[in-house]
């Protein structure tokens, strides 16, 4: 891949990821809450945020609804913030998703 391997996902890579994720179907589930999303509602989310070292490889991308994506980035921003203050914060994307799912279940 190019020098954009980390950082912001390019428009073309995003479109290609969506094309594959929706191949042959009208809706695909949010990877976090499971809500069925139309392509226009789907956010392409980094499983491990690029700010935390995640790459733009398709294996590190997932679909998320706007609500889950914004909650997840708030959690990730909190982690970045604690790290910038010198705390050692371990990042496990699966744990982040578990926290978000609990949140979603609580607010349902
Ligand atoms: Zn969701």
Q: Which domain holds residue 25?
A: 3-107
The Å distance, Cα 28 to ligand 1 centre, comes to 11
pLDDT tens for residues 10-62? 999 999 999 999 998 999 999 999 999 999 999 999 999 998 999 999 999 99
pLDDT of residue 4: 46
Q: What distance in angstroms lies between residue 99's CA and the mean position of ligand 1's atoms?
A: 12
CA 70 to centroid of ligand 1, rounded, Å: 10
- The number of C-alpha atoms within 13 Å of 45 and in the hemisphere containing its C-beta is 26
The predicted structure's pLDDT at residue 1: 43
Cα(96) to ligand 1 centroid in Å equals: 13
Of 87, 84, 47, the residue nearest 68 (C-alpha): 47
Number of domains the chain contains:
1
| DSSP three-state, residue 57 | coil
What span, in angstroms and rounded, lies between the C-alpha atoms of 65 and 77? Answer: 18
CATH number for the domain harbouring residue 21:
1.10.30.50
- The answer, yes or no, to whether residue 8 has pLDDT greater than 90, is no
């Amino acid at each position: 891949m190019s020098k954009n391997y980390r950082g912001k996902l390019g428009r073309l890579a995003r479109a290609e990821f969506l094309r594959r994720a929706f191949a042959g179907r009208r809706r695909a589930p949010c990877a976090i809450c499971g809500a069925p999303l139309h392509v226009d509602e789907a956010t392409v989310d980094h499983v491990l945020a690029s700010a935390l070292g995640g790459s733009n490889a398709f294996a590190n991308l997932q679909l998320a609804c706007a609500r889950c994506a914004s909650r997840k980035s708030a959690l990730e921003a909190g982690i970045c913030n604690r790290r910038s203050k010198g705390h050692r914060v371990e990042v496990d994307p699966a744990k982040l998703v578990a926290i978000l799912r609990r949140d979603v279940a609580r607010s349902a």
